[in-house]
Chain A
């Protein structure tokens, strides 16, 4: 089975590639961030995963992770992530 095409469309802080579709590459980045205990990167990567989700449940799953790691570090995106979850009635 061929892998989905990954389109890198830019870079954010700490050299995290922004991908247009959640796939093995994004998953690998998430795993790498977990392995390195890079929780700030996890906020960005899980937010990306949420942004790329095809349905609300998947989006909220990843938003939840982004929100938790943002909460842990009082990340600037915390309020926005929480607002998205609240809007879905999930927080």
Chain B
């Protein structure tokens, strides 16, 4: 049966930046359109789910709802990360209800079927009758946890729900190459280096705002003193990624004015004052700078609700908690400054005559690049 919604017109989005409109209101305010778009954008591609630091130790497991799907992020006894559907293969019962460390096996709380941290079904108590724990029709090797395709890059756990996307390293080859100098160990700052922001807005608006530097002098006037608009450049790779860079990055300084954090090793001169902020489509915002980096995973709670999960990383374990805390606070202030514009744009999507807006060919191309990518995924999905 056909779904009860009207397909949006995306042809006006897939125009040159000078002529294009943004995505129609329905992509932000209509649950049915959001559902279609989610199939095309969040499930068919590599979407960010979490970070490895969410499960730092072997056996750590964290249940996560993603687009309503019960998933389980788990680090097995060998330290490898995997994502499974968080349900028992027997009767579909949710397996893990809260973040915890699996000491031995994952035991379903319903009939106590047990799974290893690698997802293998290892015991089926009483399945053949009381005290009989096997049955010919229940083949353990066929009933392991359903794995969700995943890939970890820069500690971000990406998942491909459809299972049909090309390899992550193929999709993001250009971005991985662009930031190859940052291909080194990342050290999450720990509890003082993570925070969440909850927004009453569609996740795409967070991306759209993050991609461009146009808003910086207006929304982040504090940056004007050292990071002027003209010191920024657009990063636009149609069909791939977009964002912005700066030419005047200054390292974080401790209270006494000294350099607080070690640089990432082996960086070229480009990064002495350079820094880049790129969106890994569809929902991961990354930043790299010589002395620290960050990852923001946008959790699409609903068409009009998003949680930003923000994590700060350093080039070594040798960082002082006091400096990390100040750095976290400063970033939090910056990201909080963006909330009112993102939520304001969400409210604006209820204006019936808004046509998706237009783009400055000079300043908004990274944002148009994202719209164009989303529209392209929807077009492919519609066939």
Chain A min CB distance to B258 (Å): 47
For residue A72, which residue of chain B has the nearest CB? B107
Would A65 and B107 be within 8 Å (CB), given that A72-B114, A91-B133 are in contact?
A: no
* Bound complex: CA A85 to CA B104 (Å): 18
Question: Chain A residues near B134 (CB, 8 Å)?
Answer: 90-91
- Establish whether residues B130 and A57, one from each chain, have CB atoms under 8 Å apart when the complex forms: yes
Question: Are B133 and A71 neighbours in the complex by a CB distance under 8 Å?
Answer: no
Interface window among A4-12, A14-22, A73-81? A73-81
**Measured between alpha carbons, how far is A72 from B108 in the docked complex, in Å?**
10
The yes or no answer to A26 lying at the interface (CB within 8 A) is no
Residues of B with C-beta under 8 A to A72: 103-105, 107, 114
> Closest CB of chain A to B246's CB: distance in Å?
50
Within 8 A of B (CB), among A62-88: 63-65, 67-68, 70-75, 78, 85
The B-contacting residues of A in range 24-71, CB under 8 angstroms, are 57-61, 63-65, 67-68, 70-71
| Chain A min CB distance to B124 (Å) | 9
The distance in angstroms between the C-alpha atoms of A74 and B103, with both chains bound, is 6
Asked if A61 and B133 sit within 8 Å, CB to CB, the answer is no
Q: Are A71 and B123 in contact (CB under 8 A)?
A: yes
**Who on chain B is nearest to A69 by CB?**
B107
A74-B104, A75-B104 known; A68 and B114 CB under 8 Å? yes
B100 to chain A, nearest CB (A): 11
By size class, the interface of chain B is 10 to 19
Chain B, residues 102-142, CB within 8 Å of chain A (1/0): the string is: 01110100001010000000110110001111100000000
Which residue of chain A lies nearest to B126 when distances are taken between CB atoms in the complex? A64
Residues from chain A with a CB closer than 8 A to the CB of B122 are: 71
Give CA–CA (A90, B124) in the complex, Å.
Answer: 10
Closest to B134 in A: A91
- Tell me how far the C-beta of B326 lies from the nearest C-beta in chain A, rounded to whole angstroms: 41
The residue in chain B whose Cβ has the minimal distance to the Cβ of A39 is B107
- Which of A72, A74, A78, A85 has the largest number of chain B CB atoms within 10 A? A72
**In the complex the two chains form, is A65's CB within 8 Å of B125's CB?**
yes
Residue of A nearest to B59 (CB): A74
- Cβ–Cβ contact A71 & B131, under 8 A: no
Question: A58 to chain B: which residues have CB within 8 Å?
Answer: 131
Complex CA–CA separation, A17 to B125 (angstroms): 26
Let me know if B107 and A68 touch, CB within 8 A: yes
- Report yes or no: A71 in contact with B114, Cβ–Cβ below 8 A: yes
Assess whether B131 is in contact with A61, with CB atoms less than 8 Å apart.
yes
Q: How far is the CA of A65 from the CA of B112 in the complex (A)?
A: 9
Distance to closest chain A CB from B95 (angstroms): 12
A60-B104 CB under 8 A given contacts A65-B125, A68-B123, A71-B123: no
Query: Is A68 within 8 A of B112, CB to CB?
Result: yes
Residue numbers in A under 8 Å from B112 (CB-CB): 68
B177 to chain A, nearest CB (A): 43
B103 touching A85, Cβ below 8 Å: no
**What's the minimum C-beta distance from A74 to chain B, rounded to whole angstroms?**
3
Residues on B with C-beta less than 8 A from A90 are 131-134
Quick one: which of A59, A67, A68, A91 has the most chain B CB within 10 A?
A68
Closest approach, in angstroms, between the C-beta of B25 and any C-beta of chain A?
Answer: 50
Cβ of B382 to closest chain A Cβ, rounded Å: 47
Give the distance in Å from the alpha carbon of A63 to the alpha carbon of B133 in the complex: 11
- Pairs across A and B, CB under 8 Å, 22 listed: A57-B130, A59-B131, A60-B130, A60-B131, A61-B131, A63-B131, A64-B125, A64-B131, A65-B125, A68-B114, A68-B125, A70-B104, A71-B105, A71-B107, A72-B114, A73-B104, A74-B104, A90-B131, A90-B133, A91-B123, A91-B133, A91-B134
**B-binding residues in A (CB < 8 A):** 57-61, 63-65, 67-68, 70-75, 78, 85, 90-91
Q: Apart from A72-B114, A90-B132, what are 9 other A-B pairs with CB-CB below 8 Å?
A: A57-B130, A59-B131, A64-B126, A67-B125, A70-B104, A72-B105, A74-B103, A85-B133, A90-B131
